[in-house]
Amino acid sequence: MTTANRLGAIREKVEAGARLSFEDGLELEASQDLFALGTMANLVRERLSGNFGFYNVNTHINPTNVCVYTCDFCAFRADLGEERAYVMDQPQIEERAKQAHERGATELHIVGGLHHKLPFQYYVDVVKWIKAVAPEIHIKAYTAVEIEWFSKISRKPIETILAELIEAGLGSLPGGGAEIFHPEVRQKICGAKASTERWLAVHRAAHRLGLRSNATMLYGHIDEPRHRIDHLVRLRELQDETGGFQTFIPLAFHPDHSEMSEIPKPSGVMDLKVMAISRLMLDNFEHIKAYWVMLGLKTAQVALSFGADDLDGTVVHEKIYHEAGAETPQEVTVTEIRRLISEAGRIPIERDTLYHRVEREAGSWSSREHLSTPTLAAAVSST
Ligand code: SF4
């Protein structure tokens, strides 16, 4: 079969809503026909999300940059005692939460380093401090790698760690720390931190306890096509089992100030290709996010035609990718993000973390109906 015929066979599967195989994924990776990939991904996006483009209003908090691990790609971490090392205290966390509340944020996204000395209780307290001053804000906190670390330092099972955080006010888990699951890559770039099996076990446990979570993939460094497709297939399998993932976020590698600074940034073509292939392989994920902080606003906007249906948030105080050389601004205004979505031909919808439509009036906000596929399908047919 010629390449065009093989791509044609995949297109037939996509049109019929059939699942793509690992080999199909490799075929897509080998294709040079970016627009064919985009057209197929767009078909799936439209089927799941109609003509809507989602965004949220959020703020990031990175409670500490001190980390016991030394992942090669990380420009954020600091050693204990280093001049740039910090740990946010209670007044700083509360201040940030109050600011977020005053700015109308519906979500706090909290991730950080794995501090050598802080006890698990500190991380529980961070959640409690926020809830005390901004009870209505959704707390999306701690990657699977952090949860695994808390389990190690407190000698408590993952389920107990999650239950204590839920009790404190945790609302969902972010998708970070997944990097690349394949051991050939994981061992080289972040061999010390939570294994693939442990990352998946944390999300499995979270879903079992009723938490929704996201998933990511850090691409564009030493990963090869087969590693990326393997990663997507592993996520798809867990999603088949639990149904607890909401959104997949492909994360473009940023080399600056990291141990891998000799590797060039992924190109625009690679960014769009990974976005499209992610949408095509992850047939059981409702949403694919173009995280503009890493992609840049322009590529993220174009990604809305390559499978993505979400531009993430207005994001204030993002440190992790800006330390690694992201040249994007720290935040975009709601007006700007809505303009980007509209210009891409989508209808902008503000969502909360769990994909309920947000409505705002007179300085306050409220969450409305869940933006599930049937709700969106109904909205599509009435617009
Ligand atoms: S990526 Fe996370 S775990 Fe790895 S060094 Fe950076 S902060 Fe630590």
Nearest-atom number in ligand 1 for the CA of 113 is 7
Residue 263 scores a pLDDT above 50: yes
Q: pLDDT tens for residues 309-360?
A: 999 887 666 565 566 566 666 678 888 899 999 999 999 999 999 999 998 8
Which of 60, 62, 145 has most ligand 1 atoms within 8 Å of CB, for mutation? 145
Band of residue 378 on the pLDDT scale cut at 50, 70, 90: low
- Nearest protein CA to atom 3 of ligand 1, as residue: 69
* φ and ψ of 118, to 5 deg: -65, 135
Please report the pLDDT score of residue 274 as a whole number. 98
Band of residue 383 on the pLDDT scale cut at 50, 70, 90: very low
Q: How far is the CA of 172 from the centre of ligand 1 (A)?
A: 20
Residue 337 to residues 54, 127, 188, 217, 312: CA-CA distances in angstroms? 10, 28, 37, 24, 9
CATH of domain 3-348: 3.20.20.70
Stretch 220-231: mean pLDDT, rounded? 97
Q: How far is the CA of 258 from the centre of ligand 1 (A)?
A: 11
Domain boundaries, the chain: 3-348
For the question of whether the overall pTM of this predicted structure is more than 0.75, the answer is yes
Residue 84 scores a pLDDT above 80: yes
**Look-up of token digits 């006890």:** 119
Residue 138 scores a pLDDT above 90: yes
Please report the pLDDT score of residue 323 as a whole number. 64
Q: pLDDT tens for residues 179-217?
A: 999 999 999 999 999 999 999 999 999 999 999 999 999
Please report the pLDDT score of residue 149 as a whole number. 97
Residue 258 scores a pLDDT above 90: no
Instruction: Name which of 292, 294, 210 is nearest 252 in CA terms.
Output: 294
What b/e string do you get for 195-232 counting C-beta neighbours within 10 Å, with b at 16 or more?
A: ebebbbbbbbbbbeeebbbbbbbbbbbebebebbbbbb
Distance from the first to the final alpha carbon of the chain: 42
Give the residues surrounding ligand 1 with Cβ less than 6 Å away: 67, 69-71, 74, 76-77, 113-114, 145, 190, 193
Beta strand extents in 123-180 (DSSP E only): 138-141, 172-173
Report how far residue 106's alpha carbon sits from residue 125's, in angstroms, rounded to the nearest whole number: 20
Q: pLDDT tens for residues 323-336?
A: 656 666 667 888 88
Which of 114, 115, 116 has most ligand 1 atoms within 8 Å of CB, for mutation? 114
